[in-house]
Copies of this chain bind each other. A is one copy, B any other.
Amino acid sequence: MSAASKTLELLSFFTPAQPEIGLSQLCRLAGRDKATTHRHLQALEETGFVEQNPLTKRYRLGPAILQLAQTRELTVPRKDGVDAPLRALADATGETTHASILSGTVLYKLMACESPRHSIRVVIDIETFPLHATASGLCALAFGPGPLLDVARRPLTPFTPSTIDSADALTSAIEATRATGFGRALGTFETDVHSIAAPLFDPTGFLAGAVSVASVATRFTPELEARIKTHLITASRDITHNWGGTIPANVENAWANAVAQSKDLEPTP
């Protein structure tokens, strides 16, 4: 691992839950020497990526980040165009929703939105989504670039007893995702969290990310799942459209089939 990577890694320890970190604390978190960490922090401070609270001497993220974020959003507008559909999806389903974007072989959280409907709800507090264990990840594997598969297989970390742990099981999960147009992850990342996700596409037709609804197992009935799926279709179409892309025909077809089947199996009373 390069020195630069190690330096950049430090930034990932700053989260809304812990926005200010002291030198010693950061050493423990990163598992690195104090001198090393200090020099890394100095490099980050020089370039404006962190700054030191003059009162507490602790470090926090710096202003340079804001500028880069602005440039990024101008270059690849993603946050714009996600907010409204994500909120609408949360309102319609009464569950927590989130959107993620694929960069290289990593699926990053872009935004999450909780519905106030239930007091027990899922909170998304991870920054990147494991590809084999989440609904969004399955979408990425099913509709994203090929090399993703090699990366996903590498560790196949078992988060829960239900986590997919064999290459075969993963392949069939991916096939199911391709067939229905929805990623499905029932307690495979966190027990009692059931998620359904739909893919998102950019103007070039590539998979750009995923939108997902995370529900609590105890209230995840087939009716809810069907409702989530219909609203997911809308959300995915809206976001993809806002990003200047269109849903590929094969995905639209898969959705149509999936919805038709669920109607056959569970006819509305």
Task: Decide yes or no whether A266 CB sits under 8 A from chain B.
Answer: no
Docked CA distance A36–B16 (Å): 34
Q: Could you tell me if A78 and B61 are in contact, using CB atoms closer than 8 angstroms?
A: no
Binds B, one of A44-52, A177-185, A188-196, A217-225: A44-52
Q: Could you tell me if B43 and A2 are in contact, using CB atoms closer than 8 angstroms?
A: yes
Task: Decide yes or no whether A5 CB sits under 8 A from chain B.
Answer: yes
Q: Which of B6, B44, B74, B78 contacts A19 (CB 8 A)?
A: B74
Q: Could you tell me if B103 and A48 are in contact, using CB atoms closer than 8 angstroms?
A: yes
Docked CA distance A60–B51 (Å): 25
By a CB distance below 8 angstroms, the chain B residues around A263 are none
Docked CA distance A75–B72 (Å): 20
A210 to chain B, nearest CB (A): 13
Q: Is the interface of A mostly helix, strand, loop or mixed?
A: mixed
A98 to chain B, nearest CB (A): 12
Task: Decide yes or no whether A129 CB sits under 8 A from chain B.
Answer: no
A64 to chain B, nearest CB (A): 7
Docked CA distance A62–B105 (Å): 12
By a CB distance below 8 angstroms, the chain B residues around A15 are 71
By a CB distance below 8 angstroms, the chain B residues around A159 are none
Docked CA distance A134–B68 (Å): 23
Task: Decide yes or no whether A265 CB sits under 8 A from chain B.
Answer: no
Q: Could you tell me if B72 and A66 are in contact, using CB atoms closer than 8 angstroms?
A: yes
Asked, given contacts A8-B44, A47-B5, A51-B104, whether A72 binds B78 with beta carbons under 8 Å apart, the answer is no
Docked CA distance A145–B61 (Å): 20
By a CB distance below 8 angstroms, the chain B residues around A19 are 71, 74-75
Task: Decide yes or no whether A166 CB sits under 8 A from chain B.
Answer: no
